[in-house]
Amino acid sequence: MPNFGVGAGAIGTHVLWNFVAMGIKKITVVDFDVVEESNLNRQLFYCYEDIGKYKVEVLAEKIKKLDPQVELIIYKEKISSVQDIEKYIANKTLVIKSFDTPENATEWVNEVCVNIKATEISNNKVIMGWSMRLVVSPNFSACITIPV
């Protein structure tokens, strides 16, 4: 089953670790950010020696050490349009959206997942104690419209 985890931050690194622990061998991660000291208390895999390095490159190195059979496909890019989403999740059956910017990202991922009939699990940053989670499965659950 092709799988997709996007984002290499707090939620994304936990999703990635769980995918590897479950034995999933092919995972795609997209992130443009570098490791900062403020990431270390909540994002798995990163340590002080990684500060300033691209998150996806650090993950590729550490996942290879954890399980050399995992094929971690990395893209050091920023998602800024629905076309970017389409490019990265074509032919995927499961999409884990674990990034919270840009503002329209949730709608973009949802739109593409509905079109390609992929199961989507979406989680956004916690703001004042609230976190949004969305699961959409083709032919099983309805799509959700989020007012902007």
* Position 100 in a domain: yes
* Position 99 in a domain: yes
- In total, the chain counts a number of residues equal to 148
- By residue range, what is the domain housing residue 112? 4-136
Q: How does DSSP classify residue 129?
A: T
* Position 148 in a domain: no
pLDDT exceeding 70 applies to what percent of the chain? 79
User: What's the pTM?
Assistant: 0.80
Average pLDDT over residues 13-35: 92
* Position 142 in a domain: no
Residue 29: pLDDT above 80?
yes
CATH number (domain holding residue 83): 3.40.50.720
DSSP per-residue codes, 1-49: --EEEE--SHHHHHHHHHHHHTT--EEEEE---B--GGGTTTSTT--GG
Q: Is 92 helix (H, G, I), strand (E, B) or coil?
A: coil
* Position 106 in a domain: yes
Per-position b or e across 84-101, b if 16+ CB within 10 A of its CB: bbeebbeebebbbbbbbe
* Position 144 in a domain: no
* Position 22 in a domain: yes
Looking only at Cα atoms, what is the longest distance across the chain?
Answer: 46
Number of domains the chain is built from: 1
Span 71-117, pLDDT tens digits: 999 999 998 999 998 888 888 888 888 877 787 888 888 888 888 88
Return the bridge partners of 5, or none: 96
- More confidently predicted of 148 and 115: 115
Average predicted confidence (pLDDT) for the chain: 82
Residue 123 burial by CB count (10 A; 0-12/13-18/19+): exposed, middle or buried?
buried
* Position 113 in a domain: yes
